[in-house]
């Protein structure tokens, strides 16, 4: 059974860097074709893709956020980490990590709410 | 940037067929994925590669694609199908989501 869980701060101040960790089980990020992505959702709004990392270390980023976002993986710990710099109140929302196989997000974490406020 | 356009809201009576569309330039050349999201819950993949259903997804959910429009069809809509639905596609090496459609069953 595949599960993913996001963890990190619930509140960050403007200009700070956000670091979120996705801890997963039930699959390995060293298996061919597998990836883990990050998607966020402002309250009451649409899903927005942020980044995706694959088993072979290929990493993809949203063009609009590429300058602010970094995704890394630790295969031995079954974790994927997202960092987002220069946080702003408009970045407030729920952040999800999801398993990708490899082009669809077939299993999602429960999400973690992040508020950006001084 | 690539955009996927969805009608913000659709209403359907119980037992009727609901159609939710997703439009994008040259969408016929891309695979489309559909997600269902109920209030307070994480999205669930319900259609992949235009028309395939993951294990456990009811047969009343189906997908199709023609021209620049993909359609999610829910046959015999039930009250439990009331949710937000998002389409997704790939544009080169980037994932794109549609703006979402709120399905109301009344």
Q: Which residues lie closer than 8 Å to A110 by C-beta, 6 or more apart? A: A5, A6, B42
Q: Give me the percent of chain A exceeding a pLDDT of 90.
A: 98
Whether pLDDT at B74 is above 90: yes
Residues 66-105 of B with CB under 8 A from A: 86, 88, 90, 93-100
> What is the pLDDT at residue B103?
98
SS3 A43: coil
Closest CA to B4 of B65, B73, B62: B65
pLDDT tier for residue A81 given thresholds of 50, 70 and 90 = very high
CA distance B13 to chain A (A): 24
pLDDT tier for residue A101 given thresholds of 50, 70 and 90 = confident
What does the alpha-carbon distance between residue B33 and residue B39 come to, in Å, rounded to a whole number?
20
> What is the pLDDT at residue A29?
96
> What is the pLDDT at residue A93?
98
Please write the tens of the pLDDT for every residue from B13-63. 999 999 999 999 999 999 999 999 999 999 999 999 999 999 999 999 999
Please write the tens of the pLDDT for every residue from A4-41. 999 999 999 999 999 999 999 999 999 999 999 999 99
How many residue contacts between A and B have a Cβ separation below 8 Å?
Answer: 58
Chain A residues touching B40 at Cβ < 8 A: none
Q: ∠ at Cα B24 (B87, B81), nearest 5°?
A: 25
Q: How does the average pLDDT of chain A come out, rounded?
A: 97
Contact B70, B27 (CB under 8 A): yes
Structure token digits, residue A85: 């710099």
Structure token digits, residue B8: 């913000």
> What is the pLDDT at residue B29?
94
Whether pLDDT at A102 is above 90: no
Q: Which of B48, B54, B97 lies at the smallest CB-CB distance from A49?
A: B97
Q: ∠ at Cα B105 (B100, B106), nearest 5°?
A: 140
In DSSP terms, A98 is beta-bridged to A37, A108
């Amino acid at each position: 059974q595949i599960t993913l869980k996001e963890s990190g701060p619930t509140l960050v101040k403007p200009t700070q860097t956000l670091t979120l960790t996705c801890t997963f089980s039930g699959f390995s990020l060293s298996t061919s074709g597998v990836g883990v992505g990050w998607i966020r959702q402002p309250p009451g709004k649409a899903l927005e893709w942020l980044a995706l990392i694959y088993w072979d270390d290929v990493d993809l980023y949203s063009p609009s956020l590429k300058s602010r976002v970094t995704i890394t993986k630790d295969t031995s710990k079954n974790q994927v980490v997202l960092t987002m710099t220069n946080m702003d109140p408009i970045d407030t929302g729920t952040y999800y990590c999801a398993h990708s196989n490899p082009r669809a997000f077939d299993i999602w974490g429960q999400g973690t709410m992040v508020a950006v406020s001084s | 940037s690539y955009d996927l356009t969805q009608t913000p809201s659709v209403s359907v009576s119980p037992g009727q067929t609901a159609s939710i569309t997703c439009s994008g330039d040259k969408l016929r050349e891309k695979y489309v994925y559909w997600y269902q999201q109920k209030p307070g819950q994480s999205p669930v993949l319900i259609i992949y590669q235009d028309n395939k259903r993951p294990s456990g997804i009811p047969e009343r959910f189906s997908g199709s694609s023609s021209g620049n429009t993909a359609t999610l069809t829910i046959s015999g809509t039930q009250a439990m199908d009331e949710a937000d639905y998002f389409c997704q596609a790939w544009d080169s090496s980037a994932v794109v989501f549609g703006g979402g459609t709120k399905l109301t069953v009344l």
